[in-house]
Amino acid sequence: MELWGRSAILKFGRYGTSYEVTIDTDKEFEGRKVIPQIEFDIKKSTADKNLATISIKNLAERSRNVATMTVADKGKMYIEFYAGYGGVNYLMFAGDVDSSSTHWNGREWSTDFSAIDGLVASKVKYNKSHAPKTDIKSIIADALSNIKDKVKDIIVDVKSEVTQNGVTLTGATSLVMEKLAAMLPNQNLQFTIQDGVAYVKPVTTPIDKNNIPKISKHSGLIGSPKKIKEGIVFTSLIQFGLSPGRAIELESVSDEFNGVYIIQKTSAKGSTRGRDWYIECEAKLTTDFVVVNTDGSSTRGSTTPRVTF
């Protein structure tokens, strides 16, 4: 795997409109290939809402106007960010813009976004009664349909179980999903929203068990993993598959840490023109499935002087 030649794609726009700004560092702009300065700090978890701060320098006036938000605009703008190498980019974050601002620092424009993934699940209420002998899996699907205008839903390895009594559920969708998971204690279910997709699955089942990358010193692993109370922490160059709920196969210098892990938390930082371009992951060991490895590849990128986008 060739992990050099940083590239990124940033998209943002308003829900329900055709106004979208797309900045792709691997595309030519005015006859030249350019890499704008994009900085990001993204924190994600299976247990909490994912948060991102993303900054880009020297957007053109029209793009800055699209990015301008008022209090009334909150929740009406989306953002997607991809990062990788040589035009092979991986989705790092997708969610709602919580706030954005543009300022002139004396020599260039800086547009800053603060975004949240999964906010809709804590805002949209679910209120419905279900008769006795109802399949709880069908209730889960119905509760997820409550937020389908903002997120996709995927139910993974959830087994059907029938309620003995009638069930009335009311409250924020996220709380309702927690109650439903508690009704199936033997399945040890987890509800998490990752990059605009809502997943309901057993804690030990990865989001995509057919696409599990191998992380080693030959494929981006930085230094050695460290033990923590509930697993390990490791740092890698940014690459495919490093997202909460996904699994990785770790091959470290010390055999002590080798195995398959499910990622619980990530903290990614980077700058297209700076030093940082890495992701720190907290992960738990699992032995519940067979690994099917994937292979990623990329080509060298390049940088040129600053322009506006």
pLDDT tens for each residue of 81-113: 999 998 899 999 999 999 999 999 888 999 999
pLDDT at 8 over 50: yes
Indicate whether 111 and 12 sit together in one domain. Answer: yes
pLDDT interval class at 306 (50, 70, 90)? very low
Q: Which pLDDT value is given to residue 16?
A: 83
Residue 81 CA: distances (Å) to CA of 39, 93, 304: 11, 5, 21
Helix (H/G/I), strand (E/B), else coil: 4: coil
- Domain range spanning residue 68? 6-118
Whether 152 is in a domain gets the answer: yes
Reference 83, options 304, 292, 229, 301; nearest CA is: 301
Pairing of strands 77-85, 50-57: unpaired
Mean pLDDT over 236-262 rounds to 92
Whether 291 is in a domain gets the answer: no
Number of domains in the chain: 3
Whether 244 is in a domain gets the answer: yes
Burial of 90 (0-12, 13-18, 19+ CB in 10 A): middle
Q: Which pLDDT value is given to residue 155?
A: 87
Whether 256 is in a domain gets the answer: yes
Indicate whether 106 and 18 sit together in one domain. Answer: yes
Whether 302 is in a domain gets the answer: no
Q: Which H helix or E strand runs over 298?
A: none
Reference 241, options 217, 225, 220, 259; nearest CA is: 220
Please give the Cα distance from 289 to 292 (Å, whole number): 9
Q: Which pLDDT value is given to residue 30?
A: 58
CB 23 within 8 A of CB 12: no
Between 293 and 149, the more confident residue is 149
Pairing of strands 152-155, 197-202: parallel
Length of the chain: 309
> Whole-prediction pTM value?
0.88
- 116 token code pair: 């949240």
φ, ψ of residue 121 in degrees (nearest 5):
-70, -25
Whether 142 is in a domain gets the answer: yes
Indicate whether 73 and 131 sit together in one domain. Answer: no
**Among 118, 141, 158, which residue terminates a domain?**
118
The residues pairing with 13 across neighbouring beta strands, listed in sequence order, are 20, 78
**Among 202, 233, 255, which residue terminates a domain?**
202
pLDDT tens for each residue of 162-171: 999 999 999 9
pLDDT interval class at 303 (50, 70, 90)? very low
Residue 130 CA: distances (Å) to CA of 160, 198, 205: 15, 22, 28
Indicate whether 190 and 269 sit together in one domain. Answer: no
Indicate whether 187 and 238 sit together in one domain. Answer: no
Rounded to the nearest 10 degrees, how much is the dihedral formed by the CA atoms of 44, 50, 51, 54?
Answer: 70
The residues pairing with 193 across neighbouring beta strands, listed in sequence order, are 198
Indicate whether 223 and 254 sit together in one domain. Answer: yes
Q: Which pLDDT value is given to residue 167?
A: 94
Rounded to the nearest 10 degrees, how much is the dihedral formed by the CA atoms of 141, 143, 145, 146?
Answer: 180
Mean pLDDT over 129-133 rounds to 96
**CATH number for 180:** 3.55.50.30
Whether 209 is in a domain gets the answer: no
Indicate whether 61 and 11 sit together in one domain. Answer: yes
Indicate whether 136 and 113 sit together in one domain. Answer: no
Indicate whether 17 and 48 sit together in one domain. Answer: yes
Q: Which pLDDT value is given to residue 242?
A: 96
Indicate whether 181 and 249 sit together in one domain. Answer: no
Pairing of strands 197-202, 189-194: antiparallel
Whether 165 is in a domain gets the answer: yes
CB 2 within 8 A of CB 64: no
- 124 token code pair: 């949209």
Residue 305 CA: distances (Å) to CA of 30, 99, 308: 12, 29, 10
Residue 174 CA: distances (Å) to CA of 141, 143, 147: 13, 9, 10
Indicate whether 23 and 76 sit together in one domain. Answer: yes
pLDDT tens for each residue of 240-249: 999 999 999 9
Indicate whether 15 and 94 sit together in one domain. Answer: yes
**Among 68, 92, 118, which residue terminates a domain?**
118
